């Protein structure tokens, strides 16, 4: 869809659909986008940003998709299924609502009416139960809701499949699936995963490596016909509800920005069925930064961009065309990944020993020419562990355990008191596994003691520290890249100043050459993709951003993201905030994102209050810097930020609700959506305190929001 407010200054709000609080659904649902758009309109806003809504199974993070195309069944509104909203005497396919003349209710049709009533009653009960569960858990009871919805839908499907209307429904599903390349593989994947007790595809008994013929054979299997079409039916109805709601929003003059995650879960339908497009030897992540000293390992496989290019990026074009039926704008998650990505070897648990891919390597003959012979290169690329270090790391463990761990993980260098890791150690996961395996073979009572566990954990952590202590990483025979923290390693510090300068010079040369490669890659891929759809692309370009990225985005007309707390002059002492009138016009500005603390929590725990108040508050408010962010103070900051030069301004909805004492939580931490690098807990379970119905009725708060929107002009 084409952006309807293109070229105009926009303001809107963002929210995970799951977080919406509504009286009609167990959680936010596709149909609620109509009311979210109506709310935005009543607030004088013209943009609605929706976080990913892909099927993630029972994983709460919307960025851990089981499919690049399939929608999450948790957002389906059961009571609005056409199978329930129309009389059994009407045609579900055509939607004809005219009863047949002189129609009589047959026994079968009476049974269908019973099915409709039973299903509606179950859905209504789920809404009530979900609210109770949410109060008990302090957040969205994701697994409960999804499990109950699937159960209700399965019961309905089984009854419908035996009804007189079954063939009409099956024919409709068949036509719909034939027009979407992804549907059959997705349905097979989900059903086989269910039959394999939820295990990932690489642990299945069979069907681990299917081709198109195998998928078609499964689809045509009489035993699988009904369950496979059940999954397709859910997707057909979800697509219908979602596209209807998005079209409604656009009809109100409210643009809808979707979110396209660049990466997919390793255990996903596409990786299972389109294996050739993915590099499973590495997973994506992020290098170390101020928030994560070991970097991040997201566990998602990389793309084989060389093969994607040979196919004219058909897979990605298909993804975007699918999204184009819903959105007028789309946010490219982690756009840096189209330029280069932080690749972590599959044997590593964290991200510190990753490297950029693609990246021009340092070659053996080049290192040799600089005076680094085979022994010197080994010194730089393989951790050398002193015998004294081994003794300290193994201290506290029984002698036989210590001896066995050392035998597995290390090999002595000649007769020296110095060791290398054994060739079978490929990464940190191997070290952890080896220590745990040896422990499991020891006396159970002793192995479970606190002292034994403490000694084993200490041993493992020290070995991991030793493993990370390498200046160069060998990618393949004779090809090396510098480790992220190569200057802090024992080997680097042992080099003479002249040696360091020579090696640093080669590293900087390769980095410059790689930068040019990244620029060519990013521009080529992104231009091909954005030209394939009518949606306006926006980019999440946070992190360690190479200089080529903003230049390419600007050339292609793709607004980048500017987050207030991070958009600072980092090269100036004190890292002052960039003035609002210096934000690029072609950018998307926000005060918070789903991976950061919200406005209130930032103010209470992290922010330089005086600097922020001077920037946003002093011009419009005579109050002194408040120690706690009251509703009035929050509104002052929001109003101050409204003048930002960026063409698009998006607020997390909870940041807007901070301007109301009634609508915000007492504890701002309860409004945080996600903490990167952590799993479980309250992540992706945030639920709005007010209902969407209450917000729609509040004319006083709407007036405040309209004033905020008017300040954008």
Both structure tokens of 603: 């103010």
What is the SS3 assignment for 560?
A: strand
Contact 654, 664 (CB under 8 A): yes
Both structure tokens of 285: 């992540």
The CA distance from 360 to 167, in Å, is 58
The pLDDT score that the predictor gives to residue 164 is 81
| Per-residue pLDDT tens over the stretch 165-209 | 899 999 999 999 999 999 999 999 999 999 999 999 999 999 999
Angle at 193 between CA 429 and CA 228, to 5 degrees: 155
**Exposed/middle/buried for residue 252 (C-beta within 10 Å: 0-12, 13-18, 19+):** middle
Contact 402, 410 (CB under 8 A): no
**Exposed/middle/buried for residue 429 (C-beta within 10 Å: 0-12, 13-18, 19+):** middle
What is the SS3 assignment for 343?
A: strand
Contact 668, 598 (CB under 8 A): yes
Q: How confident is the prediction for the chain on average, in pLDDT?
A: 93
Burial code of 320-338, b = ≥16 C-beta within 10 A, e = fewer? bebbbebbbbbbbbbbbbb
- Report CA dihedral (423, 426, 429, 433) to the nearest 10 degrees: -20
The CA distance from 277 to 460, in Å, is 35
The pLDDT score that the predictor gives to residue 96 is 46
Contact 32, 356 (CB under 8 A): no
Give the up-direction half-sphere exposure of residue 502: CA atoms within 13 A in the CB hemisphere.
12
Burial code of 555-574, b = ≥16 C-beta within 10 A, e = fewer? ebebbbbbbbbebeeeeeee
The pLDDT score that the predictor gives to residue 114 is 86
Both structure tokens of 515: 């930068």
Task: Evaluate if residue 163 carries a pLDDT over 50.
Answer: yes
Provide the terminal-to-terminal Cα distance of the chain, rounded to the nearest Å: 25
Burial code of 282-319, b = ≥16 C-beta within 10 A, e = fewer? bbbbbbbeeebebbbbbbbbbbebeebeeeebebbbbb
The pLDDT score that the predictor gives to residue 677 is 77
DSSP 46-82: -EEEE---B--TT---TTS-S-SSPBPGGG--GGG-H
**Exposed/middle/buried for residue 211 (C-beta within 10 Å: 0-12, 13-18, 19+):** exposed
| Per-residue pLDDT tens over the stretch 262-278 | 999 999 999 999 999 99
> 476 — phi, psi (to 5°)?
-150, 175
421, β-bridge pairs: 410
The pLDDT score that the predictor gives to residue 379 is 97
The pLDDT score that the predictor gives to residue 330 is 98
The CA distance from 262 to 302, in Å, is 10
297, β-bridge pairs: 285
Provide the CATH number for the domain formed by 10-269 in this structure.
3.20.20.80
**What is the pLDDT averaged over residues 597-611?**
94
**What is the pLDDT averaged over residues 607-634?**
84
Contact 258, 333 (CB under 8 A): no
Contact 338, 264 (CB under 8 A): no
Both structure tokens of 375: 């022994």
The CA distance from 554 to 561, in Å, is 12
Whose CA is closest to 279, among 266, 295, 298, 261? 266
The CA distance from 211 to 214, in Å, is 5
Both structure tokens of 275: 């294996």
Under the banding of pLDDT at 50, 70 and 90, the label for residue 97 is: very low
**Exposed/middle/buried for residue 240 (C-beta within 10 Å: 0-12, 13-18, 19+):** middle
The pLDDT score that the predictor gives to residue 112 is 78
The CA distance from 508 to 528, in Å, is 30
The pLDDT score that the predictor gives to residue 216 is 98
The pLDDT score that the predictor gives to residue 99 is 42
DSSP 8-class letter at 664: S
What is the SS3 assignment for 281?
A: strand
The CA distance from 191 to 206, in Å, is 13
**What is the pLDDT averaged over residues 127-133?**
96
Under the banding of pLDDT at 50, 70 and 90, the label for residue 450 is: confident
The CA distance from 478 to 472, in Å, is 11
Return the axis-axis angle of helices 107-137 and 142-161, rounded to nearest 10°: 170
Task: Evaluate if residue 312 carries a pLDDT over 90.
Answer: yes
Percent of the chain clearing pLDDT 90 (strictly above):
87
The CA distance from 528 to 305, in Å, is 13
Return the axis-axis angle of helices 548-556 and 497-530, rounded to nearest 10°: 10
| Per-residue pLDDT tens over the stretch 468-493 | 999 999 999 999 999 999 999 999 99
Q: Cite the residue boundaries of each domain of the chain with CATH code 3.20.20.80.
A: 10-269
Contact 132, 209 (CB under 8 A): no
Beta-carbon count within 10 A of 254 CB: 25
């Amino acid at each position: 869809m084409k952006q309807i407010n293109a070229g105009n200054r926009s303001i809107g709000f963002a929210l995970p659909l799951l977080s919406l609080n509504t009286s009609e659904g167990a959680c936010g649902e596709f149909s609620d986008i109509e009311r979210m758009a109506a709310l935005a309109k009543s607030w004088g806003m013209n943009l609605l940003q929706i976080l990913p809504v892909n099927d993630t199974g029972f994983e709460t993070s919307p960025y851990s998709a089981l499919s690049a195309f399939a929608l999450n069944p948790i957002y389906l509104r059961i009571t609005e299924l056409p199978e329930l909203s129309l009389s059994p005497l009407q045609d579900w396919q055509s939607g004809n609502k005219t009863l047949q003349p002189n129609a009589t209710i047959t026994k079968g049709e009476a049974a269908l009416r019973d099915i409709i009533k039973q299903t509606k009653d179950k859905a209504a009960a789920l809404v009530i139960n979900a609210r109770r569960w949410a109060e008990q858990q302090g957040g969205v009871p994701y697994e409960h809701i999804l499990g109950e919805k699937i159960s209700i839908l399965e019961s309905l499907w089984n009854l419908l499949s035996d009804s007189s209307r079954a063939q009409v429904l099956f024919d409709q599903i068949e036509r719909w699936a034939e027009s979407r390349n992804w549907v059959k593989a997705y349905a097979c994947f989900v059903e086989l995963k269910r039959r394999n007790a939820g295990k990932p595809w690489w642990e299945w008994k069979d069907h681990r490596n299917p081709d198109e013929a195998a998928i078609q054979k499964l689809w045509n299997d009489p035993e699988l016909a009904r369950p496979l079409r059940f999954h397709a039916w859910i997707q057909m109805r979800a697509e219908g509800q979602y596209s209807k709601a998005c079209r409604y929003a656009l009809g109100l003059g409210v643009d809808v920005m979707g979110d396209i995650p660049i990466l997919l879960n390793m255990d996903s339908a596409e990786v299972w069925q389109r294996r050739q497009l993915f590099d499973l030897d590495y997973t994506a992540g992020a290098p170390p930064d101020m928030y994560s000293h070991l970097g991040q390992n997201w566990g998602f496989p990389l793309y084989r961009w060389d093969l994607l290019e040979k196919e004219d990026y058909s897979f990605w074009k298909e993804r975007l065309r699918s999204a184009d039926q819903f959105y007028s704008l789309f946010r490219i998650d982690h756009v840096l990944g189209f330029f280069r990505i932080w690749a972590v070897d599959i044997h590593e648990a964290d991200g510190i020993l990753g490297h950029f891919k693609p990246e021009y390597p340092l070659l053996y003959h080049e290192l040799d020419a600089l005076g680094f012979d085979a022994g010197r290169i080994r010194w730089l690329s393989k951790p050398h562990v002193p015998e004294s270090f081994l003794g300290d790391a193994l201290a506290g463990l029984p002698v036989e355990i210590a001896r066995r761990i050392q035998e597995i993980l290390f090999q002595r260098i000649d007769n020296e008191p110095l060791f290398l890791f054994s060739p079978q150690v490929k990464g940190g996961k191997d070290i952890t596994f080896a220590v745990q395996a040896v422990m499991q073979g020891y006396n159970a009572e002793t192995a479970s003691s606190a002292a034994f566990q403490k000694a084993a954990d200490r041993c493992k952590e020290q070995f991991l520290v030793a493993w990370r202590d390498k200046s160069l990483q060998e990618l393949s025979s004779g090809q090396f890249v510098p480790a992220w923290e190569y200057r802090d390693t024992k080997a680097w510090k042992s080099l003479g100043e002249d040696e360091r300068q020579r090696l640093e010079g080669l590293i900087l040369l390769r980095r410059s050459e790689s930068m040019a490669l990244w620029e060519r890659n990013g521009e080529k891929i992104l231009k091909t993709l954005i030209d394939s759809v009518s949606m306006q692309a926006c980019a999440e370009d946070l992190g360690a951003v190479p200089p080529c990225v903003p230049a390419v985005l600007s050339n292609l007309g793709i607004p980048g993201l500017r987050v207030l707390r991070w958009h600072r002059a980092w090269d100036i002492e004190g890292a002052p905030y960039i003035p609002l009138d210096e934000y690029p016009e072609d950018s998307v500005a926000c005060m918070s994102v789903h991976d950061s603390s919200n406005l209130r929590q930032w103010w209470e725990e992290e922010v330089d209050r005086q600097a922020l108040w001077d920037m946003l508050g002093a011009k419009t408010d005579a109050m002194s810097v408040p120690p706690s962010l009251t509703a009035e103070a929050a509104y002052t900051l929001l109003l101050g930020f409204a003048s930002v030069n960026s063409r698009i301004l998006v607020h997390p909805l909870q940041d807007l609700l901070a301007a109301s004492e009634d609508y915000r939580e007492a504890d701002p931490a309860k409004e945080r959506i996600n903490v990167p690098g952590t799993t479980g807990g309250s992540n992706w379970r945030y639920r709005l305190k007010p209902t969407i119905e209450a917000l729609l009725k509040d004319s006083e708060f709407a007036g405040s929001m309209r004033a905020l929107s008017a300040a954008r002009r």
